[in-house]
Chains A and B, each alone.
Chain A
Amino acid sequence: AQSVTQLGSHVSVSEGALVLLRCNYSSSVPPYLFWYVQYPNQGLQLLLKYTTGATLVKGINGFEAEFKKSETSFHLTKPSAHMSDAAEYFCAVSGGNQGGKLIFGQGTELSVKP
């Protein structure tokens, strides 16, 4: 079975500050890992994904995440927050015999203060 835990349901940062959203996963097979963003009244949008290869993955809007197998983590970071980054962020895992279905964490709401 696979699962995802996102530490912190709400994170608040100042504009220009580092963004760090935490994600830990559990998987009995090599995982595929994803970060999605959900803006108010919009559908989920893929930020980045890790499948195989390089463990540091770069995504859209300046976000990146690093797959750390030893820590079973896939934390999302951005060096400098913008007001437009305020949204809900979801980490997800798939892989093995699960097909393409995604198992999501409970989400982290990011607020950006001016």
Chain B
Amino acid sequence: GAGVSQTPSNKVTEKGKYVELRCDPISGHTALYWYRQSLGQGPEFLIYFQGTGAADDSGLPNDRFFAVRPEGSVSTLKIQRTERGDSAVYLCASSLTETSVPDEQFFGPGTRLTVL
């Protein structure tokens, strides 16, 4: 079956611009996670959704970052006024559900964002 997909695979933008990164989770997965991976580092949690609602957005670095999941499937991560420090690989993952004993998270290939 289809895995988690992310588009675009690469995005180059200029400082100050607005970008949107899209994630299509595995069909039927109710939990969706966004992580950011900087060069040479492990993934860093940003936000996760249970259904349509953001259950935990404590990892968003500032108010330039926002994410939505309006119909409980596809999610979009939005970054306003991009800065060079936002350059990273943005990873999306989904799991069947989010419970006290976590299900396996399936990761997409990521979107590599470069801010010039």
- Chain A residues proximal to chain B, CB less than 8 Å: 4, 6, 9, 32, 36, 41-46, 49, 51-52, 90, 92, 94, 98-107
Beta-carbon nearest neighbor of B5 in chain A: A43
The CA of A103 and the CA of B42, in the complex, are separated in Å by 9
Contact call B107/A103, Cβ cutoff below 8 A: no
Known: A52-B101, A90-B43. A101 touches B48 (CB 8 A): yes
**What is the predominant secondary structure among interface residues of chain B facing chain A?**
loop
Question: With A32-B101, A105-B42, A106-B40 in contact, is A100–B33 under 8 Å at CB?
Answer: yes
Count how many pairs of residues, one from A and one from B, have CB atoms less than 8 Å apart in the complex: 69
Point out the residue from A43, A49, A106 that lies within 8 Å of B42, measured CB to CB.
Answer: A106
- B residues contacting A by CB (< 8 A) are 3-4, 31, 33, 35, 40-45, 48, 50, 55-56, 59, 91, 93, 95, 98-99, 101-110
Partner of A43, one of B4, B40, B44: B4
Q: With a CB–CB cut-off of 8 A, which chain A residues contact B93?
A: 44
